[in-house]
Structure formats: C-alpha cells, structure tokens
Amino acid sequence: MLKAFFHILIFPGLLFLFVFGFFAEYADRKLYARFQNRIGPPWFQPLADFIKLIAKEEIIPEEADVKFFKLMPVLALAASSVAILYIPIWGEQAVFSFNGDVIVVLYLLTIPTFAYFLGGWYSRSVYSMIGAVRSLTQLFAYEVPLFLCILASAMLADTWSLSGMVRFYSQHIGYWFCNIIGFGVALICLLGKLEKVPFDIPEAETEIVAGSFTEYNGRLLAFIRMSFNIETVAGASLLAAVFLPFGLNLPPAAAFLCYLIQVFLIIASISFLRALFARLRLDQMINLCWKYLAPLAFLQVLFNLTLKVVLPR
C-alpha cells in the first residue's frame, strides 16, 4: 500500500515527472536556442516560469463555462501523469502491467488533446474556438499512423503488454531493426501530438494568438504547460520503450540510466526537428499524414505480419 503511494506520488509518479518535465523543457529550449546560434535560457528557467504563473491572478472570461474551464487543465495533467505508470523505466517490468496496457497508454495520451479541445471550446472566445477545432482536426491526422506503428511493434512481439514487449525485444535484440520505419513515422507523429513545429497549428501564435489557451492564465496555465511537459516525457518514454529496447535487461540503476539517455535522445531529435521546419498549413498537414505517413505505417504493419508468419518463434 505504502509502496503504491510511493510509486504514484514520488517515483515514477508526480514528483519525478515534475522534475523530469522541467528538465525536458529546459533541454528542449536550450537545444533549440543553440541550433539557432543563441545562448538560451538558464537551467532554472522552467521552474521560474512555473512559480511565476502560479503566483499570478486568475482571470476567467465572463462567457466561459467556469466548471469546464477550471477542470480541463487538471484532467490533462492527471491523464498524462498516469500514463507513465505503465511504461517500463528501470527494467523490463513497469509499475503496473497487464495484457492490453499498450492500448491504455495510447488512450491516456489522447485524453490531453480532448481536454485542450474542451477547454478551448468552453472559453468561448473566437481565437480559442478556432484553435480547439484545429487541434481536433489535427488529432484525426496523426493518430492513425502513430497507433499503427506502435501496434505493429506489439504484433511482432505477440503481446499487448508494454512490459511483455520490452522483454521480447530485449531477448531478441535483432528485431529492433525491423521497426525502423515505424520509429521514423512515430517520431513525426509525436511532433503532432505535442503540437510542436511543423505541426503547431492549433497553437499558431501569429494566426490565432494562442489557440485553445488564449484565455488561460495564472495557475491553470501553469498546469497546462506542466501537462505539456509531462506529455513530452510520457510520449518520449513510450517511444523509447517500444522502439529503442536497449539496456533494459541490465541491473536497475544501469537500466534507468539507459532509459534517461534514450529519452534525452528523443527529446533532442524533437528539438532538432522543431528548428528545422516551418509551420505547415492545416490542409497541407492532413495531406502529408494521410498521403505519406499512413501508407508507411501500413507498410510497417504488413512487414511485421509477414515476418511473424515467415520466421520461426
């Protein structure tokens, strides 16, 4: 019982996620700045931003639905925090695992997008409504390739549990190579889920001020930014667990170190891709996802299925 509380609140629960989320945001901003030949913020910048936002007054627009407005950031924070409990961090076994928890993790990582949509819709300002509708439209574009790639990996491992998948790939390390197309597609779709350039259309600063988050300020905005950070950590951990299964059969301390390095590499590639591209328009993004990414994901699924049939177990 006490162990459960420790896992939920401290490690790998809320405290670990807060600290790691701040570190992820710092690494992202610092690398982004260095790619652009600038100095970048100091290490305590995300913490300072968080504290400043919490200390500010909350202003809720008159026409907004107060219940939804206040509830949605908390919902997003909660959903993305729970997802980490099913991802293996220090070994082959996650805190909780059962057959089918891949689906649960993917579902939990989709809830924040719905929370942002509802929060933006119920803010009832023109900018937030347009931003909310855009985020949902974007969801329809990147969800399918992302799900297909992760499920293709699961199909090859013959199990629907993340811990089972990690165990399978640690034993047959050669099979990592078969999922490489899936890794590329999933990385691009992760950019879409985290709403980063070139897919930061729902939050396009120069077009609709701040999209769904235009009317948010104070504590609620702090929670939203925190939930973005935790979603980054959870998404990167998911990708690391599914596509980069190295070093997870070592003793816990070394395995944890490998996990940290892998997550850092994924966050670094996200920063690199962020600095590399311009923002796409919504119709161009949907074209890209359905014309190029979805067929590649289907290809990955077919490839894995044939592999399963052809190769002996």
Partner 1 sequence: MHESGDVKIPIGPQHPALKEPESFLISLRGEKITASSVRLGYNHRGIEKACEERTYTQGLYLIERICGICSHSHSTCFVQAVEEIAGLEVPARAKYIRTLIAELERMHSHLLWLGVAGHEIGFDTLLMYTWRDREVVMDLLAALTGNRVNYGINTIGGVRRDISSKQKEEILRAMDILEDRTKYYIDLAKGEATLIKRLQGVGILSHEDAKKLDAVGPTARASGIERDVRKDDPYAAYAELDFKVVSVNNCDVYGRTLVRLGELMESFNLARQVVRKIPEGPILAKPPRKIPAGEVVSRYEAPRGEDLHYVRSNGTEKPDRVKVRAPTLANIQSVSKMLEDRYLADMPIVIAAIDPCFSCTDRLVALRDAESEKKNTVAWETVRLKGIEWHKNRGTDFTSLNKKLTRLFQHA
Partner 2 sequence: MSRPGKIARLLMQSIFKKPATLNYPAQKSGMPEGFRGKLKFNALMCIGCKMCMRDCPSGAIEIRKIGEKQFEAEINLAKCIYCGQCVDSCLKKALEITAEFELAKLDPAQLKVILNAGNTENPKG
Residues near partner 1 (CB under 8 A) are 35-38, 126-127, 129-130, 197-198, 200-201, 204-209, 275-284
From the list partner 1, partner 2, none, partner contacted by residue 39 (C-beta under 5 to 8 A by kind): partner 2
Closest CA to 193 of 230, 222, 223, 152: 230
Nearer to partner 1, 45 or 159 (CB): 45
Nearer to partner 1, 36 or 251 (CB): 36
220: Cβ–Cβ under 8 A, 6 or more apart, which residues?
58, 69, 70, 73
* Cβ–Cβ < 8 Å for 76, 227: yes
Instruction: Write down the least CB distance from residue 184 to partner 2, Å.
Output: 13
From the list partner 1, partner 2, none, partner contacted by residue 200 (C-beta under 5 to 8 A by kind): partner 1
Nearer to partner 2, 96 or 277 (CB): 277
Rounded Cα–Cα distance for residues 209 and 207 (Å): 6
Instruction: Write down the least CB distance from residue 59 to partner 2, Å.
Output: 29
Rounded Cα–Cα distance for residues 80 and 162 (Å): 16
Q: What DSSP designation does 201 have?
A: G
From the list partner 1, partner 2, none, partner contacted by residue 292 (C-beta under 5 to 8 A by kind): none
Instruction: Write down the least CB distance from residue 296 to partner 2, Å.
Output: 15
Instruction: Write down the least CB distance from residue 285 to partner 2, Å.
Output: 13
Nearer to partner 2, 33 or 301 (CB): 33
Instruction: Write down the least CB distance from residue 214 to partner 1, Å.
Output: 11
Burial class (CB in 10 A: 0-12, 13-18, 19+), 5: exposed
Rounded Cα–Cα distance for residues 221 and 232 (Å): 17
Closest CA to 174 of 66, 282, 291, 307: 307
Rounded Cα–Cα distance for residues 32 and 54 (Å): 26
Nearer to partner 1, 108 or 129 (CB): 129
143: Cβ–Cβ under 8 A, 6 or more apart, which residues?
110, 189
Nearer to partner 1, 62 or 283 (CB): 283
From the list partner 1, partner 2, none, partner contacted by residue 65 (C-beta under 5 to 8 A by kind): none
From the list partner 1, partner 2, none, partner contacted by residue 34 (C-beta under 5 to 8 A by kind): partner 2
Instruction: Write down the least CB distance from residue 126 to partner 1, Å.
Output: 5
Nearer to partner 1, 107 or 277 (CB): 277
* Structure token digits, residue 128: 């937030």
Nearer to partner 1, 197 or 244 (CB): 197
From the list partner 1, partner 2, none, partner contacted by residue 272 (C-beta under 5 to 8 A by kind): partner 2
Instruction: Write down the least CB distance from residue 181 to partner 1, Å.
Output: 20
Going from the C-alpha of 51 to that of each of 44, 100, 176, 207, the distances in angstroms are 11, 38, 42, 28
DSSP 135-200: HHHHHHHHHHHHHHHHHHHHHHHT-S-HHHHHHHHHHSGGGGGGGHHHHHHHHHHHHHHTT-TTS-
Closest CA to 190 of 237, 134, 142, 245: 142
Instruction: Write down the least CB distance from residue 219 to partner 1, Å.
Output: 23
Applying CB under 8 A, which residues contact partner 2?
A: 33-40, 272, 275-277
